[in-house]
Amino acid sequence: MSDEEPARRHNGRIHQDSGSASAALPSGIPRPWWIYQGTGRPLHDVSLEEILPPPPPWRAFGGVSACPVEGDGRSGALSDADDAPTEPPAPPEDEQDTARRLGATPLGVRSDPEEADLVNAALILRRPLLVTGRPGTGKSTLAYRISRELGLGRVLRWPITTRSTLRSGLYGYDAVGRVHAAAAGQASEGDSREPGPEDIGDFLQLGPLGTAMLPHRLPRVLLIDEFDKSDIDLPNDLLDIFEAGEYSIPELVRIRRRRPAVSVLTDDPERSTVIASGRVRCRAFPVVVITSNGEREFPPAFLRRCLQLRLPDPDADRLAAIVAAHLGRADDPRARELIQMFVERSEREGGLAADQLLNAVYLVTSQSHVPGPEWEELLQAVWHRLDSAAGST
């Protein structure tokens, strides 16, 4: 389905311009209540702030920024809604990172209606979105599509490993580095005093989760990637933060009487913020996209508070759009042939990743390619199975 026309505002809603592009859309698509259209194209002539309804009463948090309202470009901004100080707007999207994820141009196809329904429900209800599916189906990419379309700036990405903890997502504190810096200062100045609270902000940095939970006027997009790799306790730990909408930093709470406000670095490059009394409360709950390959089950309490979306394997049309977005070669006869071969092989192998197709198309269309046994062997290696059975076949 083509979406060449930009999204526009009409009577407080977003819709696609009429014409040949929208004529091919199924009846009722886009739905009148959608904010996220699933096109990957930025909103046109309207901002998210104008069309996003207020949160449900049980999801309103009301955090206020401790940054001064006037300053040097890193200061807080006033919310037009209630004049409460909020964090500065998010940095622009990382163009190189976004291009790697989405390609140089939008896909040119609309998201599946179920995907758009659940993304919009998560936006309106201020709930995390748990996205499952086979590897390579575009789970992580969804966060970047949402951010680009809604104009929410740089995506905050928290890659999960078996060693990830709630604290590592919220902030990092280099206590050893602080002690060494204090010792170096004492040696140079002949001072034997213990490190004081005045320098603690130089050794503390908010993580992706901690930055997303700052009191922003518009929500930040937080990608929690490959959550099924996490420790067994992390889902419940994370649930408490999402329900409370706030967190504390014990190292700053302990010195709040001597240092009621501390400037710390955030996960955004060259950005800092001010933490008051060691506590942070969000204002606009972040757009949280949690990805999982389905390798483990999560606690019922966690699942109950998330909206769940399972992404299907992309069909031939969507794969062609992905190839066009990244390589611009979907019309090449060799690319079309590879796409069809890929679809058939993916069905036989129980699912292949879209980046495996991109690798093959790039090899075929960017180099002199002569079909033969060597090419078939290379294709076999590039399009290897993604499960544990691959090594036994």
| Mean pLDDT lowest among 86-90, 139-143, 313-317 | 313-317
Beta-bridge partner residues of 173: 204
Neighbouring-strand partners of residue 205: 172, 265
Region class of 185: left (phi > 0), else alpha (psi between -120 and 50), else beta: alpha
SS3 210: helix
DSSP code of residue 288:
E
What is the pLDDT confidence band of residue 368, given thresholds at 50, 70 and 90? Answer: low
275 exposure class (CB count in 10 Å sphere: 0-12, 13-18, 19+): buried
Please choose, from the candidates 353, 361, 321, the residue with its C-alpha nearest in 3D space to the C-alpha of residue 137: 353
| Residue matched to tokens 């198309």 | 361
- 3-class secondary-structure state, position 291: strand
DSSP category for residue 151: T
Whether the Cβ atoms of residue 147 and residue 155 lie closer than 8 Å to each other: yes
HEC string of 40-55 equals CCCCCCCCHHHHCCCC
pLDDT for res 108: 63
Measure the N-to-C terminal CA separation of the chain; round to a whole number of Å: 38
Give the highest mean pLDDT range of 4-13, 23-32, 253-262: 253-262
User: Model-level pTM?
Assistant: 0.85
User: Rounded to an integer, what distance in angstroms lies between the CA atom of residue 351 and that of residue 349?
Assistant: 6
Distance CA 240, CA 125 (A): 17
193-245 per-position pLDDT tens digit: 555 666 898 999 999 999 999 999 999 999 999 999 999 999 999 999 999 99
pLDDT at 338 over 90: no
pLDDT at residue 255 in the model: 93
Highest mean pLDDT out of 182-186, 300-304, 387-391: 300-304
> DSSP for 358-373?
HHHHHHHHHS----SH
The alpha carbon torsion through 72, 75, 81, 83 (nearest 10 deg) reads -90
pLDDT band with cut points at 50, 70 and 90 for residue 45: confident
Q: Look at the block and give the residue holding tokens 């996960």.
A: 267
Cα diameter, the chain:
78
